[in-house]
Copies of this chain bind each other. A is one copy, B any other.
Amino acid sequence: MMKPDIEFEQRARARQMQLTKPPGALGRLEDIACWFAARQRREIPLALVPAITVFAGDHGVTAEGVSAFPSAVTGEMVKNFARGGAAINVLARTIDARLTVVDAGVHDCVDDVPGIVHGKVRAGTANLAREAAMTRDEAQRAIALGRAQARADIAAGASLLIAGDMGIGNTTASACLICLLADADAEAVVGNGTGIDAAGRARKIDVVRRALTRVAHRQWQDGSDCLAELGGLEIGAMAGYYLEAAAAGVPALLDGFISTASALVAQKIEPAVTDWLIASHLSFENGHRIALQKLGLSPLIDLQMRLGEGSGAAVAVPILQAALRLHAEMATFAEAGVSEKHD
């Protein structure tokens, strides 16, 4: 696991004090520049090269009626990603990011979909309300899949990694993981997902409680056993993606609820992973704030988004790029001949 270098953060902070603005007037943009300085090991960090990978997987828990959409939508959306028609395709073009789609565990066969990574660990999880979502071996293979994809994105030149999710039912699995790993109650964590009504949400809370009761006496060894019991294949891959980012010393920008649940799994496996994570947006989904707090992160924006796919992260990328350009390109007081603050 790489460590950020605080000396570069301090040098960046000193530079911020010399730029032609009142100290602190750029608010969190100043903090962003200094955060990247420590991680790129440069007083003036380079512009970010973002890569987005969407991991797709299905969830046996949909048998409990926890989603407003049928499971078939996961595979249908994989085809939509491949054709360029989904929200994340548009946003990837907007921020000039490389976009990869990985089948980590879609129920339906998507073998004939061109241009995606075919990494299916199994055809959807089992119903976590009744049994383990997957085996420990499958959980580890899902993590390894995400790790390999992070290596591929870094090898292709990415300096900012974004993982997105697609998986009907995955807010239920994520809610289970957040309750378990952030020690929170289902009532506070479960939201409306893709748009279930109040009765659906009550059913979903009940499902999460049954799953948590089922594993209540487990002795957890690390995050991969939590993942096996309560997670998802795309969630495991995303956790692996974050772990590899941290291992390689490349920052990862979190997305929303599913992404943050995945990051909690990664944190359980390796606590120092959070040194390399930055939060993008606050999801409208209940419980996202709780998960971010457990990671020690504050979101940059709150636009009431709840789509997943990496969309909230992609919307925040221009803020990061703006912060770095301001840091790099603004004149100093001395360069511009501008008077400094009174003593």
Contacts and interface: CB of A to CB of B under 8 A. Distances in A.
Interface of A: 19-29, 68-70, 72-73, 76-77, 79-80, 83, 85-87, 89-91, 93-94, 193-195, 284, 300-307, 311, 314-315, 318-319, 321-322, 325-326, 329-331, 335-342
B284 A27 contact: yes
Contact of A25 (B22, B301, B307, B326): B307
A339 B28 contact: no
A336 B90 contact: no
A254 B89 CA distance: 29
Contact of A336 (B85, B284, B306): B85
A339 B72 contact: yes
B79 A27 contact: no
Most buried by B among A29, A70, A340: A29
A338 B90 contact: no
A91 B195 contact: no
A206 to B, nearest CB: 19
Contacts of A93: 325, 329
A306 B330 CA distance: 16
A308 to B, nearest CB: 8
Contact of A26 (B21, B26, B307, B325): B307
B86 A24 contact: no
A21 B87 contact: yes
Nearest to A69: B341
Given A20-B87, A70-B339, A87-B326, 11 more contacts: A21-B87, A26-B305, A26-B307, A27-B305, A69-B341, A79-B336, A80-B331, A91-B326, A94-B322, A300-B301, A318-B319
B342 A69 contact: yes
A2 B15 CA distance: 46
Contacts of A300: 301, 303
17 contacts: A22-B193, A22-B306, A22-B307, A23-B195, A25-B195, A25-B305, A25-B306, A26-B305, A27-B303, A80-B336, A83-B331, A86-B331, A87-B330, A89-B329, A94-B321, A194-B341, A318-B322
